[in-house]
Structure 1
Amino acid sequence: MTQGNIHGHLLKFSIPMLLGNMIQLSYNALDSIIVGRFVGKNALAAVGTSAPIMTIIVLSISGICIGASVLMSEFFGARAYDKLKRQMATILIFGAILSAFVLAFGLVFTPSFLQILQVPQTIMADASLYLRLMLIGFPFTFLYNALAQALRSVGDSKTPLYFVTFASLLNAVLDFVFVPIMGMGIFGAALSTVLAEALSALLCLIYVYWKIPILQVHRDEWRIDKDLLKETMNYGSVTALQQAAQPIGKLLIQGKMNALGVDVMAVFNAVSKIDDFAFTPEQSIASGVTVFVAQNRGAKQKDRLNKGFKSGLLLASIYWLLLCIFILCFRRPIMALFVSESQQNLINMGAQYLSLMVFFYLWPAFTNGLQGYFRGVGKMRLTLISTIMQISFRVIFVYLLVPHLGVSGVAFASTIGWTIMLVYQFYCYGKIQKELMQTL
């Protein structure tokens, strides 16, 4: 990414990553669609209640892996291949230790988490079962994310897409076999997801050891580099907190929604999944900006670094315009994917939310782009501070507006949070530009 057409590089890198992220999102969304249509709204609410907890865990490890990949991108840009390989060993060993801890802790305390969320007793058993099964797949999720980010750091965003696509197809087939055909309910939906996650991780591992010499860790190289681990955690821990802050905010919002009944819980679960799909392209472009900026920072190409960032914002804005047209035309059929067409009250509630929220999706196109830039230049703490600001105001206004506006209150509250975040980010961006003029 340090030479050649900037728009072309960003598109070529971001599109496979976007498709891969969309497919990963489809795992849990497909569970929601299948159980919502073939098991019922209580099952849909149970899956939706469990989802924010898993999202916090998954995005936390994703944040650590992104932090590691920023360093790997710099090492690759500077041609420091020995450091690149040591970083690979360090993050994989650390991930194995973290996975064991999270799995044991999560399995024991699942009921306590759900009670804190005020999950109704009518869906408590299903929610506990689904969450515990999803936790079993956590080690595979970490392995896939670490390997995928490593491949992306060296400019290969296509290979992770191939593996996660194959795994997603398996997940879809197993979902239909386990739930509608075999009648395994929520257990079947969770089992299909875990099996698919395991396959994508193992395929990625085999590929790295077969095709990518600079990422291969041999038997005598399996050790943690303490200096690299410290540097990784300086990047990764802040990024993990920033990544986890979003679903923590959603978890607090979920608690408010749970108090409004199963119908509202089901609608909120559905529109949250749609929001996730809508945001993912913007986040993928931002991840492309991170790698682009980090590699050009390593190569000390300041002008190209800034052009890449602005190109990312332009691409995200074009995407938002296309998204507006699509959702406004198909908001009701989209909602009908999650609930039966006989439940028109749920479809109406969700369609009303989407009609409003689609215009506000422009805000995260810019906030995500700036977050990607901050990560690329190593300013991880700014991403955390700005995210916490956004989440804090979002949660406060959800509790103020939802009692009066229902689910639509979430859209207004989100926009208030994004606006405050964006003002802070532009202020920080101006300061960083002055720093880069002196250091690069």
Structure 2
Amino acid sequence: MITDMTKGNIPKHLTYFAVPLILGNFFQLTYNAADSIIVGRFVGTKALAAVGTANPIMNIVMFFIIGICMGASVLMSEYFGAGNIKKLKREVSTTMIAGFIFTMVIIVFCIIMTKPILELIRTPEEILPDATSYLRIIFCGLIFTFLYNVYASTLRSIGDSKIPLIFLIISAVFNVVMDIVFVVILKMGVPGSALATVTAEMLSSVCCITYAYVKVPMLRFSRKEFVMDRQLLRTTINYSWVTAMQQTCLYVGKFLVQGAVNPLGVDAIATFNAVNRVDDFAFTPQQSISSGMTTFLAQNRGAKKNERIKSGFWSGMKLETLYWLMLLVTVFFGAPHIMHLFVSEENSKVVELGIKYLEMMAFFYLLPSYTNGIQGYFRGMGDLKITLRSTFVQIVGRVIFAYILAPKFGIVGIALSCLAGWIIMLAYEVPLCIKHRKNYPC
């Protein structure tokens, strides 16, 4: 359903938009979580470690593509808020054509470079073959990742976050079923979990494309309308490059942190894989609220309704804080149960390490809730370079502290390095946010 956020109740708009995003991202995360849980319990710790080692590399590429779509969606929201449907359609077609070509190039490059990259981060020899095959299968499915995200971003830019949620639920359930078929029944191991993920992504992309064509007339293109506008392409690249680099920077950081974890041994790698899944479930709703703020602010900026921007920002920050309070209780008291989802009782070392990590992170999660809210503000206001720089300083700080603290404190040192990175990020963002609010007319 198309939603015009330039009028009506602000907290209601943000909540109604963010909740489907949060639920959708939860279901999207079940792709990887299902892989880890089923692989860990039915194949073993080494297989879990292989998937865990592969995931930072996979996420770098996937979130680069997602970042391209996010950047373009800011422009789409602005044109929709301004009522310029012709320019909105031109932006959508330009993003689709250019993004499709770019994604095909990325697929070829990644398949060739998979093994050298895994060797670069000191992947243990006993898990290298499984990690390599997992990644190459995932990379073959990147075209479906792009197609789903470009259509989902377009629908969200016009205020519809419910339909992408429905298709994610369908594909997430399908992914779990395929995991059981490929890994548990057919005994295909790690490659089977990758195949399950790719088939689920294919389903979600087909559903999203079909819905947009059939149910949303403004997203139905004639042959003459489906063109790549060179002028809009330059503007889109300026936006998308920054958001793509921001998303990539975040996962390059995880990739480098993985390099600090790998020398700690297979148990530590398996633990890091499991707790990373929990981190993803913790961070993604924060990012969803942030995305809701971005769409709201971009639409109102396009409509030049400055008085709604300040209220939208503070409403979003209150939602971020409320979510953290729920997260604190869930993760702190549920840490043992969460870890037992990933490994059986006999792998007590992995469970023990994971509980220590999660009990600390439950309190630390407050900081990324605020950094995400501030980033949503700057994206919505079109100041995307600030979001890139702040992510960069956070990652640099986190990686440096990870290599200093991990040899001394193990997995606990990784949690402390996250805390250090977020403190650095807020120290950079908060003064800029205060200055921007003072200078922006309300």
**Coarse TM-score class (shorter-chain normalised):** over 0.9
Aligned length: 438
1:282-330, CA deviations, whole angstroms, 9 ceiling, x for partnerless residues?
1000000000110111111112111111111101101111111111221
Partner of 1:99: 103
Looking at structure 1, the residues matched to 424 and 440 of structure 2 have their Cα atoms a distance apart, in angstroms, of 25
Match of 2:420 among 416, 420, 435: 416
1:364 matches 2:368: yes
2:66 is aligned to: 62
For 1:26-425, list aligned pairs within 5 A. 26-425=30-429
Q: Which amino acid is 2:299 matched to?
A: Q
Contact 2:175 2:196 in 1 (8 A): yes
Instruction: In structure 2, list runs of 5 or more residues that go unmatched.
Output: none
Q: Per-residue displacement from partner, 1:27-46 (whole Å, max 9, x unpaired)?
A: 11110111000000110011
CA distance in structure 1 between the partners assigned to 2:193 and 2:63 by the alignment: 21
Residue of structure 2 equivalent to 1:427: 431
Task: Give me the whole-angstrom Cα distance separating, in 1, the residues matched to 2:229 and 2:436.
Answer: 30
Shift of 1:431: 2.2
Match for 2:26 among 17, 22, 37?
Answer: 22
- Please report how far the alpha carbon of residue 381 of structure 1 lies from its aligned counterpart in structure 2 after TM superposition: 0.3
In 2: Cα distance, 1:378 partner to 1:151 partner: 19
CA offset digits 1:93-127 (Å, max 9, x no partner): 11210111011111111111111011111111101
Question: Offset at 1:333?
Answer: 0.8
- Partners of 2:350 and 2:437 in 1: how far apart? 48
* Partner Cα separation in structure 2 for residue 95 and residue 216 of structure 1: 18
RMSD: 0.9
Please say if residues 264 and 410 of structure 2, whose CA atoms lie closer than 8 Å, have aligned partners that are also in contact: no
TM superposition shift of 1:434: 3.1
CA contact (8 A) 2:65 2:103 kept: no
Is the Cα–Cα contact under 8 Å of residues 178 and 196 in structure 2 kept in the other structure?
yes
Over residues 311-361 of structure 1, what are the superposed CA-to-partner deviations in whole Å (9 max), with x where a residue is unaligned? 111011011111111112210110011111221111011001101111000
Q: Secondary structure at the match of 1:337?
A: helix
- Aligned AA for 2:41? R
Offset at residue 435 of structure 1 (A): 3.1
1-structure distance, mates of 2:417, 2:175: 34
> Identity over aligned residues, as a percent?
51
Q: Tell me how far apart the structure 2 counterparts of residues 314 and 261 of structure 1 sit (CA, whole Å).
A: 41
Q: In structure 1, the residue corresponding to 2:100 is in which secondary structure?
A: helix
SS of corresponding position for 1:156: coil
- Greater shift, 214-223 or 189-198, is seen at 214-223
| Deviation readout 1:195-227 (Å, 9 max, x if unpaired) | 000010011000010011112222122221111
Give 1:4 deviation, angstroms: 1.1
Query: CA offsets per residue over residues 207-249 of structure 1, 9 Å max, x none?
Result: 0100111122221222211111111111110111011111101
**Runs of 4 or more above 2 Å deviation:** none
Which amino acid in the other structure matches residue 191 of structure 1? L
Give me the whole-angstrom Cα distance separating, in 1, the residues matched to 2:400 and 2:39: 32
Query: Any idea what the Cα deviations from partners look like across 1:55-83, whole Å, max 9, x if unmatched?
Result: 01111111111110000000000000000
**Contact 1:84 / 1:215 at 8 angstroms: preserved in 2?**
no
Instruction: Return the alpha-carbon distance in structure 1 between the equivalents of residues 93 and 243 of structure 2.
Output: 20
Separation (CA, whole Å) in 2 of partners of 1:4 and 1:254: 46
Deviations 1:166-223 (CA, angstroms, capped at 9, x unpaired): 0111111111111111111112111111000001001100001001111222212222
Given the alignment, which residue of 11, 16, 23 partners 2:15? 11
The CA distance in 1 between the partners of 2:290 and 2:139, in whole Å, is 28
Could you tell me which runs of 5 or more consecutive residues in structure 1 were left unpaired when the two chains were aligned.
Answer: none
How far apart are the structure 2 equivalents of 1:424 and 1:256?
25
